[in-house]
Amino acid sequence: MIFETHAHYDDKKFDQDREELLSSMKEHGIGTIVNVGSDMETSRWTVEAVKRYPMMYGAVGVHPSETENMKPEDIELLKEYSKEEKIVAIGEIGLDYYWNEPERGIQKKWFEAQMELAKEVNLPIIIHSREAAKDTYDMMKAADAEEIGGVVHCYSYSKEMSRNFMDLGFYIGIGGVVTFKNARALKETAAYAPIERIVLETDCPYLAPEPNRGKRNSSLNLIYTAQAIAEIKGISTEEVIAVTEENARKLYRMEGK
Ligand code: NI
Protein backbone atom coordinates (compact mmCIF):
# COMPACT_ATOMS: atom_id res chain seq x y z
CA MET A 1 0.00 0.00 0.00
CA ILE A 2 1.04 3.61 -0.47
CA PHE A 3 3.24 5.02 2.30
CA GLU A 4 2.80 8.77 2.82
CA THR A 5 6.11 9.94 4.32
CA HIS A 6 5.27 13.62 4.92
CA ALA A 7 1.91 15.17 5.78
CA HIS A 8 0.56 17.98 7.96
CA TYR A 9 -2.91 16.84 9.04
CA ASP A 10 -2.64 19.23 12.01
CA ASP A 11 -3.27 22.07 9.52
CA LYS A 12 -6.53 23.97 10.00
CA LYS A 13 -7.39 23.33 6.36
CA PHE A 14 -8.34 19.83 7.56
CA ASP A 15 -10.52 20.97 10.47
CA GLN A 16 -13.77 20.46 8.55
CA ASP A 17 -13.24 16.86 7.47
CA ARG A 18 -10.12 15.43 9.12
CA GLU A 19 -11.83 12.35 10.62
CA GLU A 20 -13.71 11.49 7.46
CA LEU A 21 -10.66 11.99 5.27
CA LEU A 22 -8.30 9.92 7.42
CA SER A 23 -10.81 7.11 7.80
CA SER A 24 -11.14 6.89 4.00
CA MET A 25 -7.41 6.39 3.41
CA LYS A 26 -7.22 2.61 3.65
CA GLU A 27 -9.97 2.04 1.09
CA HIS A 28 -8.01 4.25 -1.31
CA GLY A 29 -4.80 2.28 -0.89
CA ILE A 30 -2.98 4.52 1.60
CA GLY A 31 -1.58 2.21 4.28
CA THR A 32 0.60 4.45 6.45
CA ILE A 33 0.95 8.19 7.06
CA VAL A 34 3.74 10.03 8.86
CA ASN A 35 2.52 13.36 10.21
CA VAL A 36 5.33 15.87 10.52
CA GLY A 37 5.59 18.61 13.13
CA SER A 38 6.77 22.05 12.03
CA ASP A 39 6.75 23.88 15.39
CA MET A 40 6.25 23.04 19.07
CA GLU A 41 2.46 23.13 18.82
CA THR A 42 2.15 20.86 15.79
CA SER A 43 4.76 18.50 17.25
CA ARG A 44 2.55 18.22 20.34
CA TRP A 45 -0.50 17.68 18.10
CA THR A 46 1.36 14.88 16.32
CA VAL A 47 2.23 13.08 19.57
CA GLU A 48 -1.47 13.03 20.48
CA ALA A 49 -2.78 12.24 16.99
CA VAL A 50 -0.74 9.07 16.52
CA LYS A 51 -2.59 7.65 19.52
CA ARG A 52 -5.96 8.29 17.84
CA TYR A 53 -5.18 7.06 14.33
CA PRO A 54 -3.79 3.52 14.03
CA MET A 55 -2.29 4.14 10.57
CA MET A 56 -0.51 7.33 11.64
CA TYR A 57 3.08 7.70 12.83
CA GLY A 58 4.77 10.97 13.67
CA ALA A 59 7.82 13.22 13.54
CA VAL A 60 8.56 16.04 15.97
CA GLY A 61 10.70 19.07 15.24
CA VAL A 62 10.81 22.75 14.39
CA HIS A 63 10.90 23.99 10.79
CA PRO A 64 13.69 26.51 10.07
CA SER A 65 11.20 29.34 9.43
CA GLU A 66 9.72 28.76 12.92
CA THR A 67 12.99 28.89 14.89
CA GLU A 68 12.97 32.62 15.73
CA ASN A 69 11.79 32.16 19.31
CA MET A 70 13.05 28.66 19.96
CA LYS A 71 14.47 28.02 23.42
CA PRO A 72 16.77 25.35 24.89
CA GLU A 73 13.74 24.05 26.84
CA ASP A 74 12.07 23.26 23.53
CA ILE A 75 14.85 20.79 22.73
CA GLU A 76 14.15 19.11 26.09
CA LEU A 77 10.45 18.95 25.28
CA LEU A 78 11.14 17.54 21.80
CA LYS A 79 13.32 14.93 23.47
CA GLU A 80 10.40 13.88 25.63
CA TYR A 81 8.07 13.78 22.62
CA SER A 82 10.59 11.73 20.68
CA LYS A 83 10.38 8.96 23.26
CA GLU A 84 6.62 8.59 22.83
CA GLU A 85 5.36 5.54 21.02
CA LYS A 86 5.02 5.84 17.23
CA ILE A 87 7.32 8.85 16.95
CA VAL A 88 9.71 7.76 14.22
CA ALA A 89 11.77 10.84 13.27
CA ILE A 90 12.99 14.32 14.18
CA GLY A 91 11.60 16.83 11.70
CA GLU A 92 11.05 18.80 9.86
CA ILE A 93 14.36 20.59 10.42
CA GLY A 94 16.83 22.38 8.17
CA LEU A 95 17.47 25.68 6.40
CA ASP A 96 15.16 27.89 4.35
CA TYR A 97 16.86 30.75 2.51
CA TYR A 98 13.87 31.39 0.26
CA TRP A 99 12.04 33.16 3.07
CA ASN A 100 15.39 33.97 4.70
CA GLU A 101 13.75 34.54 8.07
CA PRO A 102 14.80 34.26 10.79
CA GLU A 103 18.40 35.21 10.00
CA ARG A 104 20.62 32.38 8.86
CA GLY A 105 22.60 32.19 12.09
CA ILE A 106 19.44 31.40 14.06
CA GLN A 107 18.28 28.77 11.55
CA LYS A 108 21.70 27.12 11.63
CA LYS A 109 21.88 27.06 15.41
CA TRP A 110 18.60 25.16 15.74
CA PHE A 111 19.24 22.91 12.76
CA GLU A 112 22.45 21.81 14.43
CA ALA A 113 20.80 21.40 17.84
CA GLN A 114 18.02 19.26 16.38
CA MET A 115 20.49 17.05 14.49
CA GLU A 116 22.30 16.53 17.78
CA LEU A 117 18.99 15.64 19.40
CA ALA A 118 18.29 13.08 16.67
CA LYS A 119 21.66 11.52 17.28
CA GLU A 120 21.02 11.38 20.99
CA VAL A 121 17.60 9.76 20.72
CA ASN A 122 18.64 7.60 17.78
CA LEU A 123 15.98 8.70 15.27
CA PRO A 124 16.35 9.64 11.58
CA ILE A 125 15.86 13.25 10.46
CA ILE A 126 13.47 14.86 7.98
CA ILE A 127 15.33 17.67 6.21
CA HIS A 128 13.58 20.78 4.90
CA SER A 129 16.01 22.65 2.64
CA ARG A 130 15.08 25.45 0.29
CA GLU A 131 17.64 27.47 -1.68
CA ALA A 132 20.22 26.36 0.85
CA ALA A 133 21.72 23.23 -0.68
CA LYS A 134 25.37 23.89 0.12
CA ASP A 135 24.91 25.04 3.71
CA THR A 136 22.49 22.17 4.38
CA TYR A 137 24.90 19.61 3.01
CA ASP A 138 27.92 21.13 4.79
CA MET A 139 26.08 21.14 8.12
CA MET A 140 24.94 17.56 7.61
CA LYS A 141 28.51 16.51 6.88
CA ALA A 142 29.77 18.36 9.95
CA ALA A 143 27.15 16.62 12.10
CA ASP A 144 28.06 13.18 10.71
CA ALA A 145 24.54 12.89 9.30
CA GLU A 146 25.42 9.58 7.65
CA GLU A 147 25.25 8.15 11.17
CA ILE A 148 21.78 9.66 11.68
CA GLY A 149 20.06 8.87 8.38
CA GLY A 150 16.83 10.31 7.06
CA VAL A 151 15.19 11.98 4.09
CA VAL A 152 15.58 15.21 2.15
CA HIS A 153 11.93 16.08 1.91
CA CYS A 154 10.24 17.80 -1.03
CA TYR A 155 13.49 17.55 -2.93
CA SER A 156 14.07 20.64 -5.10
CA TYR A 157 17.75 20.61 -6.09
CA SER A 158 19.69 19.18 -9.03
CA LYS A 159 20.24 15.50 -9.75
CA GLU A 160 23.96 16.09 -9.13
CA MET A 161 23.21 17.37 -5.64
CA SER A 162 20.97 14.37 -4.96
CA ARG A 163 24.07 12.19 -5.39
CA ASN A 164 25.67 13.91 -2.39
CA PHE A 165 22.63 13.37 -0.17
CA MET A 166 22.27 9.76 -1.28
CA ASP A 167 25.97 9.19 -0.55
CA LEU A 168 25.19 10.19 3.04
CA GLY A 169 22.59 7.41 3.01
CA PHE A 170 19.63 9.76 2.73
CA TYR A 171 16.39 9.12 0.87
CA ILE A 172 14.95 11.60 -1.64
CA GLY A 173 11.36 12.67 -0.89
CA ILE A 174 9.41 13.31 -4.09
CA GLY A 175 6.09 15.12 -3.99
CA GLY A 176 3.40 16.44 -6.31
CA VAL A 177 5.71 18.90 -8.06
CA VAL A 178 7.06 15.98 -10.15
CA THR A 179 3.73 16.01 -12.03
CA PHE A 180 4.12 19.66 -13.08
CA LYS A 181 5.06 20.24 -16.72
CA ASN A 182 7.83 22.73 -15.89
CA ALA A 183 9.48 20.64 -13.14
CA ARG A 184 12.46 19.69 -15.28
CA ALA A 185 15.07 19.37 -12.52
CA LEU A 186 12.86 17.21 -10.31
CA LYS A 187 11.93 14.94 -13.23
CA GLU A 188 15.67 14.55 -13.92
CA THR A 189 16.30 13.63 -10.29
CA ALA A 190 13.41 11.15 -10.36
CA ALA A 191 14.98 9.53 -13.42
CA TYR A 192 18.47 9.58 -11.93
CA ALA A 193 17.89 8.42 -8.36
CA PRO A 194 17.50 4.63 -7.99
CA ILE A 195 13.92 3.70 -7.05
CA GLU A 196 15.41 2.18 -3.87
CA ARG A 197 16.30 5.72 -2.67
CA ILE A 198 12.95 7.41 -3.37
CA VAL A 199 9.99 7.88 -1.01
CA LEU A 200 6.56 9.35 -1.75
CA GLU A 201 5.19 12.39 0.04
CA THR A 202 2.58 15.11 -0.30
CA ASP A 203 3.56 17.86 2.18
CA CYS A 204 -0.23 18.28 2.29
CA PRO A 205 -2.19 20.53 2.50
CA TYR A 206 0.37 22.09 0.12
CA LEU A 207 1.66 21.21 -3.34
CA ALA A 208 -1.18 19.16 -4.83
CA PRO A 209 -0.12 17.29 -7.98
CA GLU A 210 -1.75 17.51 -11.39
CA PRO A 211 -4.67 17.13 -12.07
CA ASN A 212 -5.52 18.74 -8.71
CA ARG A 213 -2.85 21.44 -8.76
CA GLY A 214 -3.85 24.50 -6.71
CA LYS A 215 -6.43 22.64 -4.61
CA ARG A 216 -5.98 21.46 -1.05
CA ASN A 217 -3.69 18.44 -1.15
CA SER A 218 -4.12 15.17 0.75
CA SER A 219 -2.54 11.73 0.73
CA LEU A 220 -5.28 10.60 -1.67
CA ASN A 221 -3.34 12.39 -4.42
CA LEU A 222 -0.20 10.27 -3.95
CA ILE A 223 -1.36 7.97 -6.72
CA TYR A 224 -0.66 10.74 -9.27
CA THR A 225 2.87 11.20 -7.94
CA ALA A 226 3.45 7.43 -8.08
CA GLN A 227 2.14 7.36 -11.66
CA ALA A 228 4.45 10.21 -12.71
CA ILE A 229 7.50 8.46 -11.24
CA ALA A 230 6.47 5.17 -12.89
CA GLU A 231 6.23 6.90 -16.25
CA ILE A 232 9.63 8.60 -15.85
CA LYS A 233 11.31 5.35 -14.83
CA GLY A 234 9.46 3.10 -17.26
CA ILE A 235 8.21 0.75 -14.54
CA SER A 236 4.72 -0.02 -13.26
CA THR A 237 2.89 2.16 -10.76
CA GLU A 238 2.47 -0.97 -8.58
CA GLU A 239 6.24 -1.37 -8.42
CA VAL A 240 6.74 2.28 -7.47
CA ILE A 241 4.19 1.92 -4.68
CA ALA A 242 5.63 -1.36 -3.36
CA VAL A 243 9.30 -0.31 -3.45
CA THR A 244 8.74 3.16 -1.99
CA GLU A 245 6.70 1.61 0.83
CA GLU A 246 9.58 -0.69 1.66
CA ASN A 247 11.99 2.27 1.46
CA ALA A 248 9.84 4.31 3.85
CA ARG A 249 9.74 1.49 6.38
CA LYS A 250 13.54 1.33 6.26
CA LEU A 251 13.84 5.12 6.45
CA TYR A 252 11.67 5.32 9.57
CA ARG A 253 13.03 2.03 10.92
CA MET A 254 9.61 0.45 11.13
CA GLU A 255 10.53 -2.96 9.79
CA GLY A 256 8.86 -5.53 11.94
CA LYS A 257 6.62 -2.91 13.60
NI1 NI B 1 6.39 19.82 5.42
Nearest to 199 by CA among 179, 221, 229: 229
* Residues of the chain above pLDDT 70, percent: 99
- The rounded distance, in Å, linking the Cα atoms of 75 and 61 is 9
Q: How far is the CA of 28 from the centre of ligand 1 (A)?
A: 22
Tell me the pLDDT of the chain averaged across its residues.
97
pLDDT at 257 over 70: no
Binding residues for a divalent metal cation: 6, 8, 92, 128, 153, 203
pLDDT tens track for 195-225? 999 999 999 999 999 999 999 999 999 999 9
pTM: 0.97
Q: How far is the CA of 243 from the centre of ligand 1 (A)?
A: 22
On whether the CB atoms of residues 125 and 110 are closer than 8 A, the answer is no
Overall average pLDDT of the 112-141 stretch: 98
Burial track 97-125 (b if 16+ CB lie within 10 A, e otherwise): beeeebeeeebbebbebbbebbbebebbb
Q: pLDDT at position 255, please?
A: 79
Q: How far is the CA of 203 from the centre of ligand 1 (A)?
A: 5
Phi, psi at residue 9, to the nearest 5°?
Answer: -75, -5
- With bands split at pLDDT 50, 70 and 90, how would you rate the model's confidence at 228? very high
Q: How far is the CA of 93 from the centre of ligand 1 (A)?
A: 9
Q: pLDDT at position 100, please?
A: 78
Overall average pLDDT of the 167-187 stretch: 97
Is residue 87 classed as helix, strand or coil in its secondary structure? Answer: strand
Is residue 96 classed as helix, strand or coil in its secondary structure? Answer: strand
pLDDT at 91 over 70: yes
Q: How far is the CA of 200 from the centre of ligand 1 (A)?
A: 13
pLDDT at 51 over 80: yes
Q: How far is the CA of 63 from the centre of ligand 1 (A)?
A: 8
